Amino acid sequence: MLAYFSVFAIFHTSVLAARIWNNTGVGTIIFEEAWTPPVLASTVGKQTPPVGQTSEQLAENLLDVHNQRLAGMDANGVDFMVLSCSSPCIQGISDPVVAATTAKQANDELAATIANNTLRFGGFAALAMHDPVEAAQELKRTVEELGFLGALVNDYQQTNDSSMIKFYDTAEFDPFWQVVTDLDVPVYFHPRSNIPLLGNLEFGHSSFLRGSSQEFAATLSTHVMGLSTNGVFDRFPTLKIIVGHMGERIPSDFSRIDDQLARQVVNGMPMQKKLSDYWRTNIFETTSGNFGTDLLKFHIGQIGLDRILYSVDYPFVTIEQGTEFINTLAETTGLGEEDIVALKRGAAIKLLKLDQ
Ligand SMILES: *[C@@H]1O[C@H](CO)[C@@H](O)[C@H](O)[C@H]1NC(C)=O
Ligand SMILES: *[C@@H]1O[C@H](CO)[C@@H](O)[C@H](O)[C@H]1NC(C)=O
Ligand SMILES: *[C@@H]1O[C@H](CO)[C@@H](O)[C@H](O)[C@H]1NC(C)=O
C-alpha cells in the first residue's frame, strides 16, 4: 500500500511539473540561440554581423527577446527556442568571484525575461567554470529552481592568471560532470574568441580568420576531443554533450583521428574506445550556422541522423537562412518526411526532455 502511494506521488508530481510549450506538432525547435543579458550589455564589443546587417542591428537583436526575435520565430514556424548567454559570457570573466556573481545574475535575468512566455522560450544556464563545485551548484539551482534545460559553456574559462586557462577535461572537473549526469541534462559546448595571448599569436598574421570561419572550430574542437581522450565519457558514460556548427568539423575527420589516436594507447591515454564511438553515445551535433547539405548527408553516415539536430545560431545567422535549409531538405538530401521531422524537432524533444 505504501509502495503504491509513493509511486502515485512521484507520478502525480511529474505530471504537475510537465513542461508546457507551444507544441504545434510541426514547428522547429532551435537551441544555439544567443542573448545578451542586461548585466553584460555594457561589455559587448562590436561583432561581425550577417551580410546586409550592421553591427548595431546585431547588438539590438542580441538584447531582444519578445520583439523581432519572436516575430521571426512566428514567421518561420519556430515552436520553441532555448536562449543562452552570448559568447564569451562568463567564460570571459577572469575574476572567479565576479564570474560567479555575474553568472547567477545572468541566469536570474534570463529566467525573469522569459517568465511570461515559457511557451516559446527556455533557458540554458551560464556558468562560472573557475570552480567545478560552484559551477555544479549553480547548474543545479537553475535546473531545479528556474526550470532551465541544461547549460551552455563558451569553451574554456579564462582566469585571472593570463598564462592559465581552464579546460573541463581534467580530473578537477569530475565533481561538475557528476552533477551534470545526476541531473541528466545536456551541456552545450559553444565557441569563444581566444584570450589575446593565444589569439594574437595564432591569428595576428591573418585576422580575417578570427571568429567563426576558423578560430572557433579550431579551438573548440580541441576542447571537445579532450573530453574523449582524457576519459571523461568513460568515467561518466551517460554524459550528454552538444556541439554546434555540425560538430566543429570533428565527425568529418574520424578516419584520421581514430587512426592517429590508436598510436597514443601505449602512451597511457585513458580513453577506452575510439574517439568516433563517443559521437554515437555521448555527443550530439547541431546544424547551427552550418547548413551544408552534402556535409549533412556525410555526417548522417558517420554518426546517424539521431545524433544530428537542427539549430540556427540566431542572431549571428538569420532564422530565414535556417528555414530555407529545412524547407528544401527533401530535395537537397532526399531525406523522407519522418527523418526531417526528427531533425527539426523530434530529437530535440527527446534530448531536452520537452515531453517530460
Ligand atoms: C506557436 O508557434 C507557431 C510557430 O510554429 C506560431 O505561429 C504561433 O503563434 C505560436 N503560438 C503561441 C501561442 O505562441
Ligand atoms: C512579456 O513581457 C515583455 C516585456 O514586458 C513584453 O514585451 C511581452 O509582450 C510579454 N509577452 C507576453 C507573452 O506576455
Ligand atoms: C586568482 O584567483 C585565485 C583563485 O581565487 C587566487 O588564488 C589567486 O591569488 C588569484 N591570482 C591573482 C593574480 O589575482
- pLDDT (tens, 9 = 90+) of the chain, 356 residues, equals 333 344 343 444 444 568 999 999 999 999 999 999 999 999 877 888 999 999 999 999 999 999 999 999 999 999 999 999 999 999 999 999 999 999 999 999 999 999 999 999 999 999 999 999 999 999 999 999 999 999 999 999 999 998 899 999 999 999 999 999 999 999 999 999 999 999 999 999 999 999 999 999 999 999 999 999 999 999 999 999 999 999 999 999 999 999 999 999 999 999 999 999 999 999 999 999 999 999 999 999 999 999 999 999 999 999 999 999 999 999 999 999 999 999 999 999 999 999 99
Closest CA to 76 of 30, 115, 37: 30
Backbone angles phi, psi at 350, to 5 degrees: -70, -50
| CA–CA dist 310, 287 (Å, integer) | 5
Q: In the structure, which protein residues have their CB atom closer than 6 angstroms to any atom of ligand 1? A: 22, 24, 27, 74, 77-79, 119-120
Cis check for the bond before 251: say yes or no (omega within 30 of 0).
Answer: no
Pick the atom of ligand 1 nearest to 26's CA. Answer: 5
Q: How many angstroms does the Cα of residue 70 sit away from the middle of ligand 1?
A: 9
For the CA of 158, the nearest ligand? 3
For the CA of 22, the nearest ligand? 1
| pLDDT recorded at residue 9 | 39
Does this model's pTM top 0.85?
A: yes
| pLDDT recorded at residue 60 | 96
328-339 tens-digit pLDDT? 999 999 999 999
Pick the atom of ligand 3 nearest to 160's CA. Answer: 1
Q: Residue 282's Cα: distance from chain center in Å?
A: 14
C-alpha atoms less than 13 angstroms from C-alpha of 42 in its C-beta half-sphere: 2
Protein residue whose Cα sits closest to atom 3 of ligand 2: 66
| pLDDT recorded at residue 193 | 96
Residue with cell 563545485: 133
Look up residue 345 and give its DSSP letter: I
Domain architecture of the chain: domains with CATH: 21-351 (3.20.20.140)
DSSP 167-183: -TTSGGGHHHHHHHHHH
Which grid coordinates belong to 127?
556558468
| pLDDT recorded at residue 17 | 65
Closest CA to 198 of 171, 216, 212, 213: 216
Catalytic residue flag (residue 294): no
Probe target for ligand 2 pocket from 69, 70, 114, 117, with the most ligand atoms within 8 Å of CB: 117
160 lines ligand 3 (CB under 6 A): yes
| CA–CA dist 3, 7 (Å, integer) | 6
Which grid coordinates belong to 189?
559546448
Q: How many angstroms does the Cα of residue 116 sit away from the middle of ligand 2?
A: 6
Q: In the structure, which protein residues have their CB atom closer than 6 angstroms to any atom of ligand 2? A: 66, 116-117
Tell me which of 155, 313, 339, 355 is the catalytic residue: 313
| CA–CA dist 306, 69 (Å, integer) | 28
